[in-house]
Structure 1
Amino acid sequence: MAIIAESLPTQTTAARNEVQQQIDAQRARTIRAAYTTRFVAAEMQRNPQDFQVVRRANMAPRAGDVVIATVTELGKHTRLQSPVSRRQLMFVGQEIMVAYGDRYAPDQFLAHVPQNLGPCQLVAGGGVASEVIEQHASIDMATQLQPTGLLMRHGKVVNLADFAPLGIEDDSPRPAQAGAQRPPVIAVLGTSMNSGKSTTLGCLVNGLVNSGMAVAAGKATGTGAGNDPDLFTDAGAFSVCDFTDFGFPTTYRLDYETVRDLLVAMIREQSATGADAVVIEIADGLFQGETSRLLLDPVFSEHVDRVLFSAQDALGALAGERILREAGLDVAAVSGVLTASPLAAKEAQSQLATPVIGTFDLCQAEVAAALLPTH
């Protein structure tokens, strides 16, 4: 009689190829965490035993997934912003904790989340790992990373959204006053990155604070980094948040509905602080994908009362004024890099219906207060 051997269970190919490393207290202290991963890092310091680093052949990261990686070659970014925004110097061979994300930066990198855990690049000093698609001709190649694996907790890949203190669908934890009206909201936009948006916003915040107002500020879109929130705090804003507080390393390539809901949630959150005014930065230029869609969305004009525009030159200022007015937005003033040149500012003012105001003039109480909506 033939004997039929009972088949024994075998490991799957994925299981055989899995590498899992436990995080202990010493390794948790050694790994250099980034600004984008600050909330995850805080929990890992408290309970390192809950975390593992896992690598499988079929792992495909998503935006926001946290990765432990080794620095293999230094390039454009030689420093990594720490959870408190200190620019910590990196060394080849160090392990860092960053988040996968897409990046849109005309002056630096266009980068997309890779489809596997192969070698990738550090595309932002705030802590964003990605695959460079294009880069500006004037900058160095990106710093190179070799992922060890994705961070996991309780059998699940850790995503920034898991530890974010705010959510786009959540009501503000701050109690709203009965019958309270939304404070005035000013959005700061610009011709492009490095047009002076953040400095313009910081000076406006400072001027409003100098006028006796309590100001809340936020950055609704862009690439995660601590520079701008720190600037807003230094300027005098008593409440500051950015999109990383909602669990996003960057906002590039998010579903448009998510970007729109994020803006609304941020304004809602900062309005609930009891602020007398809310100022919000919208990153990059008017032609950037999510920015251009936001401007034409009725939700934007419903939640934003006035716009302060930063430009690099007179021609950009004129084009920006036209685009914003055609979108039906109330342009309060033009400022930014162009105002560093008196000649450029005069050129712009000769062509604009909107007043041109020097960036640091916005620190004056009467100048800043005059930009608030009158209704």
Structure 2
Amino acid sequence: MTLYSQITPAHCDIAKWAFTTRRVNRNDVRGVCTHLARAKAGNLVLCEIAEIGHHKKIQLAERRAALSYPGDLVVLCLGDRYAPDQFLATAIIDDDLIDLVAGGGVAGRVDAAHVAMDAPTRLRPLGLLTGTGGTPINIADYALPSLTPNEDVTVIGVFGASMNSGKTTAASSLGHGLMRAGYAVAGVKATGTGAFGDFNSFEDGGAPALDFTDAGMATTFRMPLDRIEAGFDTLVATAAARGAEVVVVEIADGVFQQETQAILKSSRIRDRLDGILFAAPDALSALGGVMVLQQMMLSPFAISGMVSCSPLATAEAASVSHLPILSREELWSPDVIQHYVAPLMRQAPKDVAA
């Protein structure tokens, strides 16, 4: 590995900056602080890649993936992570090496991992990037201006039974269908771990995207609920100010994840939703998810996700849940949007697009 006798802001010029840092003005970097005990979630950390493990690429601020090599310099955010299929991680620097806990650019300490996971990519933290006065730079410094809640735009929430249940496909497909039905639509990822996959998926479907990194959070795991709510309010209001009539909001992970559970139980986010689309991997998860939501006095208007990929699973889920099961192709349809989503709108329904 490369040995650096002195770390300076010039090293940032040759570093790969991760997606989580995309809002940062790189000209604001004035120094590199080696007192790593000061680090907290959201701080920018200059790291050297020491060993390649599970994450072999870094998702860049430019929204492309870059192959990683030992010795690469990268600028990441310190952050927690909750991912049942991958890592549980803490936003802390307590050793000479730390872990790349998410390819979108989150570093920390892996505390637990799925049995199928390879060892994490190891990072050598070289310092915290600092601005004027030597204060560590945090992505919260670059958050969108806080806005009061918008009560006019329609908000459709997309929840799921678990990680990898098909939420992102369901959310982006719903956004695409709304666009084809003639609505001005935006996509918002309100919780989760910073990465460009969900962001790009919304925009690929024609919906301009925002996510919690725009609200100053690298991840929302272990963030206070009031901060997540404030981020949601700002993201929805920003989307509306930019012309959206309908905002599709994806909430990460499953209904038992702590922040998602808190949102569903009692929050401004729950109260603001005009409808819920639920994503499930199979029929049992579809039934269980609907039952959990009903216990909270919520009911989705339809189910989508991985379950909709199988005709047999679709039939099972429809039989036990008594709800429509909508595939991504069906969500693309203006007719389906008119039938299932238009009745939820705060605006007057539109004619089906030609």
After superposing the two structures, state which structure 1 stretch, 98-107 or 265-274, moved more. 265-274
Q: 1:294 aligns with which of 263, 270, 278?
A: 263
- One-letter amino acid of the structure 1 residue matched with residue 314 of structure 2: A
Equivalent residue number for residue 99 of structure 2: 121
Whether the aligned pair in 2 keeps the contact of 1:101 and 1:128 (CA below 8 Å) is yes
CA RMSD of aligned residues (A): 1.8
Distance in 1 (alpha carbons) for counterparts of 2:267 and 2:65: 39
After superposing the two structures, state which structure 1 stretch, 68-77 or 345-354, moved more. 345-354
* In the alignment, structure 1 residue 339 sits paired with structure 2 residue 308: yes
Cα gap change, 1:300 to 1:163, in 2 (>3 Å): closer
Between the two proteins, what is the percent identity of the paired residues?
38
* In the alignment, structure 1 residue 196 sits paired with structure 2 residue 182: no
For 1:360, what is the secondary structure of its paired residue?
helix
Cα gap change, 1:199 to 1:289, in 2 (>3 Å): same
Whether the aligned pair in 2 keeps the contact of 1:188 and 1:281 (CA below 8 Å) is yes
1:20: how far off?
6.6
* In the alignment, structure 1 residue 285 sits paired with structure 2 residue 230: no
Equivalent residue number for residue 221 of structure 2: 252
* In the alignment, structure 1 residue 158 sits paired with structure 2 residue 158: no
Equivalent residue number for residue 23 of structure 2: 39
Distance in 2 (alpha carbons) for counterparts of 1:92 and 1:20: 19
Distance in 2 (alpha carbons) for counterparts of 1:369 and 1:158: 46
Q: 1:137 aligns with which of 115, 123, 128?
A: 115
Q: 1:228 aligns with which of 198, 211, 236?
A: 198
* In the alignment, structure 1 residue 205 sits paired with structure 2 residue 175: yes
Q: 1:267 aligns with which of 199, 218, 236?
A: 236
For 2:301, what is the secondary structure of its paired residue?
strand
Distance in 2 (alpha carbons) for counterparts of 1:39 and 1:209: 27
Alignment of 1:45-60 (within 5 A): 47=27, 50-56=29-35, 59-60=37-38
Equivalent residue number for residue 9 of structure 2: 23
Distance in 2 (alpha carbons) for counterparts of 1:108 and 1:301: 27
Q: 2:42 aligns with which of 55, 64, 85?
A: 64
Unaligned runs of 5+ in 2: 347-354
Distance in 2 (alpha carbons) for counterparts of 1:69 and 1:344: 45
Whether the aligned pair in 1 keeps the contact of 2:147 and 2:233 (CA below 8 Å) is no
- One-letter amino acid of the structure 1 residue matched with residue 189 of structure 2: K
Whether the aligned pair in 2 keeps the contact of 1:306 and 1:329 (CA below 8 Å) is no
After superposing the two structures, state which structure 1 stretch, 307-316 or 269-278, moved more. 269-278
- One-letter amino acid of the structure 1 residue matched with residue 290 of structure 2: E
1:230: how far off?
0.9
Equivalent residue number for residue 16 of structure 1: none
For 1:244, what is the secondary structure of its paired residue?
coil
Cα gap change, 1:182 to 1:342, in 2 (>3 Å): same
Distance in 1 (alpha carbons) for counterparts of 2:188 and 2:156: 11
What whole-Å deviation, never above 9, does each CA across 1:203-248 have from its counterpart, x for those lacking one? 11111111111101100000000111111011011x3100001111
TM (norm. structure 1) is 0.86
For 1:188, what is the secondary structure of its paired residue?
strand
Equivalent residue number for residue 82 of structure 1: 60
Q: 2:152 aligns with which of 178, 182, 192?
A: 182
For 1:88, what is the secondary structure of its paired residue?
strand
Distance in 1 (alpha carbons) for counterparts of 2:283 and 2:221: 28
After superposing the two structures, state which structure 1 stretch, 66-75 or 355-364, moved more. 355-364
Distance in 2 (alpha carbons) for counterparts of 1:246 and 1:316: 31
Equivalent residue number for residue 310 of structure 1: 279
After superposing the two structures, state which structure 1 stretch, 150-159 or 324-333, moved more. 324-333
Unaligned runs of 5+ in 1: 1-18
1:184: how far off?
1.6
1:368: how far off?
2.2
After superposing the two structures, state which structure 1 stretch, 77-86 or 323-332, moved more. 323-332
Distance in 2 (alpha carbons) for counterparts of 1:369 and 1:96: 46
